Amino acid sequence: MINIGIIGAGRIGKVHAESITYHVKEARVAAIADPFMNEATKTWAENLGIPKILTDYKEILSDDSIDAVLICSSTDTHADISIEAIKANKHVFCEKPISQDLTKIQAVIDTLKTSNVKFQVGFNRRFDHNFEAVRNAVAEGKIGDVHIVKVTSRDPDAPPIEYVKVSGGMFLDMTIHDFDMVRYLTSSDVVEVYAYGTSLVNPLISEVGDIDTAIITMKLANGALAMIDNSRKADYGYDQRAEVFGSKGQVAVTNDTPSTAVISTATGVTGEKPLYFFLERYMASFTKEVSLFVQAIINDTEVPVNIIDGLQPVLIAKAAKKSLDEHRPVLLSEIVM
């Protein structure tokens, strides 16, 4: 039985706590810490049977009975707490992104070199049933050599402008999942990026220096080409699709819906809109990623998303931003730590 401490009791921390309690039989949530622990969260944690409900995550790190931590705190603290946790000899599951600051990611990498703990990054979409099916088809050679990868990712609604201001920009906040997806589906690295971005959803977003609509093209190390399209707001909902085209064919996935119901009337033949947003769409993937993290600890095997997998999408996001700013293709090798 793996004892887990969860650092951060916000939305994603709660998702993980419930996943572990209900679905990961080999692990239990031994403690949860949040500096802003309120009554509602406390009651929720008690009902879930979490023994220690804390405000200071350091109590988790100093607790010898705890084997692993999930870092679900705010993004700017991920790297520092990761380093502390590694030094405290805890296995670490860190939410994405590790950091928006490459120096900090490098510091985590350096710390890991002196340790034997597992370190996994929370790119949950890799564990979604649809994207796994694409990856498997590609890995099993069903479509031959990869030629073109296409990822569509559109949110159901733009975030509040206050969030946009501190988000690090759309590429680091939203597209980062799609950059990871390109690597995951192809098992190849990105070599070069060219990005077009603009603000068509909400002009306030451009006023604070960000974009809400983008198309990004990439050259991959294996010679394939990749393209992503993003929007902060699709009126019909959360649009999450991918295609991989290769020498022997194509594999594609489309959206999940609340049901398969199709209503045919005088006005047309109408199916349901996609599942609303990431909590509905990707809930099972949150459970699976943590379950695999626990398995990697128990069996002392490789984690499915390692620190390099955590680093690379940040590099691609920074290259995409540089491409947008400088209006030219940018090599990943231009992005220095």
Query: Helices marked H in 65-175 — which ranges?
Result: 78-87, 102-113, 129-139, 161-166, 170
- List the interface residues with its own copies, window 256-275 (CB under 8 A): 256-273
Q: Specify the residue, 150 or 318, whose C-beta has the smaller distance to its own copies.
A: 150
User: Token pair of 268, please?
Assistant: 């047309």
- Told to check if 327 binds its own copies by CB under 8 A, we report yes
Closest approach of its own copies to the CB of residue 262, in Å: 5
- Told to check if 251 binds its own copies by CB under 8 A, we report yes
- Told to check if 23 binds its own copies by CB under 8 A, we report yes
Give the binding-site size for its own copies (rule: CB under 8 A).
70
> Which of 291, 301, 178 minimizes the C-alpha distance to 240?
178
Q: In sequence order, which residues have a C-beta less than 8 Å from that of residue 163 and are 6 or more positions away? A: none
- List the interface residues with its own copies, window 142-161 (CB under 8 A): 142-145, 147-148, 150, 154
Please tell me the distance from the alpha carbon of residue 225 to that of residue 115, in angstroms, as a whole number.
37
Provide the 10 A C-beta neighbour count for residue 68: 24
Q: Which of residues 85, 185, 201, 330 is near its own copies by CB under 8 A?
A: 201
- Told to check if 324 binds its own copies by CB under 8 A, we report no
Please tell me the distance from the alpha carbon of residue 135 to that of residue 149, in angstroms, as a whole number.
11
Strands 119-121 and 27-33: unpaired
Q: Which stretch binds its own copies (CB under 8 A): 110-118, 141-149, 279-287, 303-311?
A: 141-149
Q: Which of residues 39, 47, 103, 300 is near its own copies by CB under 8 A?
A: 47
Please tell me the distance from the alpha carbon of residue 326 to that of residue 317, in angstroms, as a whole number.
14
User: Token pair of 108, please?
Assistant: 């985590």
Q: Specify the residue, 29 or 214, whose C-beta has the smaller distance to its own copies.
A: 214
- List the interface residues with its own copies, window 280-319 (CB under 8 A): none
Please tell me the distance from the alpha carbon of residue 39 to that of residue 71, in angstroms, as a whole number.
21
Contacting positions for its own copies (CB under 8 A): 22-23, 25, 47, 129-130, 132-134, 137, 142-145, 147-148, 150, 154, 194, 196, 198, 200-201, 213-215, 217, 219, 223-227, 229, 231, 234-236, 239, 245, 247-273, 327-329
